[in-house]
Amino acid sequence: MQTLIIILGWTGLAALFVRATQQPAGATAPQAVPFLGGGTPDAHAWQRYHFRPYTMTLVFIAFEMEMMFMYPWAVVFVSEGIKALAEMGMFLAILSVGILYGWREGVFRWQ
Protein backbone atom coordinates (compact mmCIF):
# COMPACT_ATOMS: atom_id res chain seq x y z
CA MET A 1 0.00 0.00 0.00
CA GLN A 2 2.81 2.34 0.97
CA THR A 3 4.64 1.52 -2.27
CA LEU A 4 1.51 2.27 -4.26
CA ILE A 5 1.08 5.66 -2.59
CA ILE A 6 4.72 6.54 -3.26
CA ILE A 7 4.44 5.50 -6.92
CA LEU A 8 1.19 7.45 -7.37
CA GLY A 9 2.69 10.47 -5.62
CA TRP A 10 5.77 10.51 -7.83
CA THR A 11 3.66 9.98 -10.95
CA GLY A 12 1.48 12.91 -9.99
CA LEU A 13 4.50 15.12 -9.30
CA ALA A 14 6.08 14.11 -12.60
CA ALA A 15 2.84 14.93 -14.44
CA LEU A 16 2.67 18.35 -12.76
CA PHE A 17 6.33 18.99 -13.62
CA VAL A 18 5.79 18.09 -17.27
CA ARG A 19 2.71 20.32 -17.40
CA ALA A 20 4.64 23.20 -15.89
CA THR A 21 7.52 22.91 -18.32
CA GLN A 22 5.32 22.66 -21.43
CA GLN A 23 4.44 25.96 -22.98
CA PRO A 24 0.85 26.23 -24.16
CA ALA A 25 0.70 25.94 -27.95
CA GLY A 26 -1.52 29.01 -28.23
CA ALA A 27 -1.50 28.88 -32.02
CA THR A 28 -3.86 31.23 -33.78
CA ALA A 29 -5.92 29.93 -36.70
CA PRO A 30 -3.53 31.27 -39.38
CA GLN A 31 -0.63 29.63 -37.55
CA ALA A 32 -2.36 26.28 -37.28
CA VAL A 33 -2.69 25.67 -41.03
CA PRO A 34 -0.04 23.56 -42.74
CA PHE A 35 2.79 25.40 -44.46
CA LEU A 36 2.36 25.22 -48.22
CA GLY A 37 4.47 28.20 -49.19
CA GLY A 38 1.45 30.48 -49.01
CA GLY A 39 -0.87 28.03 -50.76
CA THR A 40 -4.05 26.46 -49.41
CA PRO A 41 -5.07 22.81 -49.09
CA ASP A 42 -8.38 21.37 -50.31
CA ALA A 43 -8.58 18.48 -47.89
CA HIS A 44 -7.66 17.79 -44.30
CA ALA A 45 -4.05 16.66 -43.94
CA TRP A 46 -5.10 13.43 -42.26
CA GLN A 47 -4.98 10.77 -44.94
CA ARG A 48 -4.31 7.09 -45.40
CA TYR A 49 -1.41 5.94 -47.49
CA HIS A 50 -0.18 2.50 -48.36
CA PHE A 51 2.63 1.16 -46.20
CA ARG A 52 4.11 -0.94 -48.98
CA PRO A 53 6.49 -3.18 -46.99
CA TYR A 54 3.64 -4.46 -44.83
CA THR A 55 3.20 -7.76 -46.70
CA MET A 56 6.92 -8.42 -46.37
CA THR A 57 6.62 -7.73 -42.63
CA LEU A 58 3.73 -10.15 -42.38
CA VAL A 59 5.63 -12.98 -44.07
CA PHE A 60 8.74 -12.23 -42.00
CA ILE A 61 6.78 -12.56 -38.77
CA ALA A 62 5.04 -15.72 -39.96
CA PHE A 63 8.28 -17.55 -40.77
CA GLU A 64 10.72 -15.95 -38.34
CA MET A 65 8.55 -16.29 -35.23
CA GLU A 66 7.97 -19.91 -36.18
CA MET A 67 11.68 -20.62 -35.91
CA MET A 68 12.01 -18.67 -32.65
CA PHE A 69 9.51 -21.05 -31.06
CA MET A 70 10.77 -24.18 -32.80
CA TYR A 71 14.27 -24.15 -31.29
CA PRO A 72 13.20 -24.34 -27.61
CA TRP A 73 10.38 -26.67 -28.65
CA ALA A 74 12.86 -29.09 -30.23
CA VAL A 75 14.84 -29.22 -26.96
CA VAL A 76 11.85 -30.33 -24.86
CA PHE A 77 10.01 -32.31 -27.55
CA VAL A 78 11.33 -35.73 -26.52
CA SER A 79 10.47 -35.28 -22.84
CA GLU A 80 7.05 -33.65 -23.43
CA GLY A 81 5.93 -35.98 -26.20
CA ILE A 82 2.48 -35.75 -27.77
CA LYS A 83 1.50 -32.61 -25.80
CA ALA A 84 4.36 -30.64 -27.37
CA LEU A 85 3.35 -31.90 -30.82
CA ALA A 86 -0.21 -30.66 -30.29
CA GLU A 87 1.03 -27.27 -29.10
CA MET A 88 3.20 -26.86 -32.18
CA GLY A 89 0.26 -27.87 -34.37
CA MET A 90 -1.91 -25.12 -32.85
CA PHE A 91 0.87 -22.57 -33.19
CA LEU A 92 1.48 -23.41 -36.85
CA ALA A 93 -2.26 -23.32 -37.55
CA ILE A 94 -2.46 -19.74 -36.22
CA LEU A 95 0.60 -18.61 -38.16
CA SER A 96 -0.60 -20.24 -41.36
CA VAL A 97 -3.63 -17.93 -41.32
CA GLY A 98 -1.17 -15.07 -41.81
CA ILE A 99 0.56 -16.94 -44.61
CA LEU A 100 -2.77 -17.66 -46.31
CA TYR A 101 -3.67 -13.97 -46.04
CA GLY A 102 -0.31 -13.06 -47.57
CA TRP A 103 -0.95 -15.56 -50.37
CA ARG A 104 -4.29 -13.92 -51.10
CA GLU A 105 -2.54 -10.53 -51.23
CA GLY A 106 -0.11 -11.91 -53.80
CA VAL A 107 3.06 -11.83 -51.68
CA PHE A 108 4.40 -15.03 -53.17
CA ARG A 109 3.96 -13.95 -56.79
CA TRP A 110 7.37 -13.24 -58.26
CA GLN A 111 7.30 -9.97 -60.20
Partner 1 sequence: MGLSSPDPASVFAAIGPGWQAPVERLLARQGLRRALTPRDAGILLVAGDMPGTAAEALSRVHDQLPHPRVTLRWTIAEETADAVAERIAATWRDLRAGEADESDHLPDQPPNEWKGVGPHGQGGKGMMGGTPYGRTMAMTGEDIRDGLQLDRYTARIGPFAPMLPPGLVLEVTLQGDVIVAASVQSPPFAQPADADAPELCAARMLTLLGLDEPARRSIRGRRPSGFWVRGAVPRDLGRIKDAGNARDRLAAFLAGDSPAVAATDLSELLPGLEWSEAMLVLASFPPSSILRAAPIPEAA
Closest approach, Cβ 18 to partner 1, in A, equals: 21
Say whether residue 30 binds partner 1 (CB under 8 A): yes
Give every CB contact of residue 84 below 8 A, 6+ residues apart in sequence.
73, 76, 77
* Among 44, 53, 64, 94, contact with partner 1 (rule: CB under 8 A): 44
* Among 49, 72, 93, 109, contact with partner 1 (rule: CB under 8 A): 49
**Which phi and psi angles does 11 have, rounded to 5°?**
-60, -45
What CA–CA distances, in Å, run from 26 to 8, 16, 31?
Answer: 30, 19, 9
Element containing residue 68 per DSSP (H, E): helix 54-80
Closest approach, Cβ 29 to partner 1, in A, equals: 5
Say whether residue 31 binds partner 1 (CB under 8 A): yes
Say whether residue 33 binds partner 1 (CB under 8 A): yes
* Among 42, 72, 78, 90, contact with partner 1 (rule: CB under 8 A): 42
DSSP conformational letter for 24: P
Say whether residue 23 binds partner 1 (CB under 8 A): no
Element containing residue 83 per DSSP (H, E): helix 82-104
Q: Which residues bind partner 1 (CB under 8 A)?
A: 28-31, 33-50
